[in-house]
Structure 1
């Protein structure tokens, strides 16, 4: 099931991601019935073809059975125990399947979440049978985990919200193709990761467009504005990196000293 679970780029597999994660948990197999097994068979039979066959190792056996006397023995039940990995997979699949929940949708679209919205999000999570309890969730993740950041990083940022914020750079014909590509790369990152440390604008893949990163592509005013836009997405969920602005200030101070 792990190899099937990895095929999230396949829409049919992604649609069943919650089910795939759920049946890998030991608790799902408690009190299993033939009807449940048949249901799983019918749900997953069309997905088997998406498993990478090349990654599957062939195992050859050549056993000769030796029959002995028949004895009745007690077979001990082996408990595999709780799997944090499977729990995380199940939780994350559950959240992705509930992206239309008003609180999750707001976080994805960079809309502010009120105290009431946060309470609604907590209820959706901690009252779910999938998550079991707040205590179990915090045991696996952390008591200090920011739910707003966790959700945003998991579901990403809505592409339209990002494009709207950077509209002047995408629609203004005065910007070069390289500048537009730089902004599009920022949008791609935010869409996937949900938040961004603006300091990454001075690292690959941004330095692939110019070795100086942001400062090599835009003048000071536009560079500062781009950083402010990025930080506005972070601020909505209470995240503050701040490193890029400090780096630019230090760079400006150093340049001023050289000019003096």
Structure 2
């Protein structure tokens, strides 16, 4: 701030009448502030601005769905450490995220899950994820309706947990107040868990083979 002021004053100095004589004024101020002490500023946000970061990240992802790592996450393809490292570099270079933003994302589960949650999953990829669960079963209309709802939510959220199927107030609760136990056997619920774990796994990096 002081440097900016100095530059501005230097530009005005040429306008001063050098021939005019002016009385020199001396000042002598006494410090009345006392000793310096730290002050706590209350009600000020700390850390990153999560809402701002999410908005910038979402905008970038919508414009770059064909970016290789984003495409993998959208289509339930396994990502690697190199994929995420490259995406992190892009986020930093494009001012989508700060290093602090990325640190918080890693603490919350990683950039892969963060991106998947923001951009969701391709609908066809979501359907393919559940093909192994559906094939060979004679599902009732209610069961098929429930699975279709799961696919809809997975396409929107990117990932899902079995616990979400029991959540009161969720669309799942409307179709099965007692949770998936109302419609599926314990073995079938275990099968759903396997699908959900698979969706989670593809959004977390694996090391490339040497």
Give the TM-score, by structure 2 length: 0.64
Q: CA, structure 1 residues 217+137, in 2 after alignment: closer, same or farther (shift >3 Å)?
A: same
Q: CA, structure 1 residues 233+88, in 2 after alignment: closer, same or farther (shift >3 Å)?
A: closer
Q: Distance in 2 between matches of 1:122 and 1:137?
A: 10
The alignment yields a C-alpha RMSD, in angstroms, of: 2.6
Deviation at 1:157, TM superposition (A): 1.4
Q: Distance in 1 between matches of 2:153 and 2:142?
A: 17
Q: CA, structure 1 residues 134+205, in 2 after alignment: closer, same or farther (shift >3 Å)?
A: same
Deviation at 1:137, TM superposition (A): 3.3
Q: Which residue of 2 aligns with 1:176?
A: 140
Q: Which residue of 1 aligns with 2:8?
A: none
Q: CA, structure 1 residues 232+138, in 2 after alignment: closer, same or farther (shift >3 Å)?
A: closer
Please tell me whether Structure 1 or Structure 2 has the larger radius of gyration of its CA atoms.
2
3-state SS in 1 of match to 2:107: coil
Q: Distance in 2 between matches of 1:123 and 1:210?
A: 44
Asked if 1:215 corresponds to 2:178, the answer is no
Q: Which residue of 1 aligns with 2:84?
A: 118
Deviation at 1:183, TM superposition (A): 0.5
Uncovered stretches (5+) of structure 2, i.e. residues with no partner: 1-47, 206-210
Alignment match of 2:58 (pick from 71, 80, 92):
92
**Off by >4 Å, runs of 4+ in structure 1:** 168-173
Q: Distance in 1 between matches of 2:106 and 2:196?
A: 27
Uncovered stretches (5+) of structure 1, i.e. residues with no partner: 1-82, 240-260
| Corresponding pairs, count | 154
Deviation at 1:179, TM superposition (A): 0.4
Deviation at 1:182, TM superposition (A): 0.6
Q: Deviations over 1:35-60 (max 9, x none)?
A: xxxxxxxxxxxxxxxxxxxxxxxxxx
Deviation at 1:86, TM superposition (A): 4.2
Give the TM-score, by structure 1 length: 0.52
Taking CA–CA contacts closer than 8 Å with sequence separation of 6 or more, which of the two structures ends up with the larger relative contact order? 2
Alignment match of 2:172 (pick from 189, 197, 206):
206
